[in-house]
Amino acid sequence: AQTVTQSQPEMSVQEAETVTLSCTYDTSESDYYLFWYKQPPSRQMILVIRQEAYKQQNATENRFSVNFQKAAKSFSLKISDSQLGDAAMYFCAYRSGGGSNYKLTFGKGTLLTVNP
């Protein structure tokens, strides 16, 4: 079974600075997808970024980018120019690219605090 590990329960960053959230995963599959979701205090789960395992190029979405290291099974999220609105719980998630279920397997989350 796949597992997702977020080794940083909490992180903090100064406004306008850059922060990197770590995620590692364990799988024997070659076809899969990785995601970062953001959960602000409103509890809504918001998709931040996705990465297909077959793509070598790291995904970017405005101030959010990932460092995808397939051999190391690492998928970190970099937030540049941090803003107060970035404060949230961040979840890394894995999904198989095949099989009979396409569930998301989540890590336990990293709580990000942004200091003004």
Partner 1 sequence: EAQVTQNPRYLITVTGKKLTVTCSQNMNHEYMSWYRQDPGLGLRQIYYSMNVEVTDKGDVPEGYKVSRKEKRNFPLILESPSPNQTSLYFCASSLHALYEQYFGPGTRLTVT
Residue of the chain from 11, 53, 104, 111 that contacts partner 1 (CB under 8 A): 104
CB of 16 to partner 1, least distance (A): 29
Tokens 């977020």, residue?
Answer: 6
Backbone torsion region of residue 43, taken as left when φ is above 0, otherwise alpha when ψ lies between -120 and 50, otherwise beta: left
Q: How would you classify the pairing of strands 88-96 and 74-79?
A: unpaired
Closest to partner 1 by CB, 11 or 104: 104
User: Does 64 sit near partner 1 (CB under 8 A)?
Assistant: no
Query: What does the alpha-carbon distance between residue 89 and residue 48 come to, in Å, rounded to a whole number?
Result: 12
Q: How many residues touch partner 1 (CB under 8 A)?
A: 22
User: Does 47 sit near partner 1 (CB under 8 A)?
Assistant: yes
User: Does 91 sit near partner 1 (CB under 8 A)?
Assistant: yes
Tokens standing for residue 69: 């290291």
- Could you give the count of Cα atoms lying within 13 Å of 86 in the half-sphere of its Cβ? 29
Residue of the chain from 25, 35, 36, 75 that contacts partner 1 (CB under 8 A): 35
CB of 59 to partner 1, least distance (A): 12
Tokens standing for residue 99: 């099989």
Task: Return residues touching partner 1 (CB under 8 A).
Answer: 4, 33, 35, 37, 42-47, 50, 91, 97, 100-104, 106-109
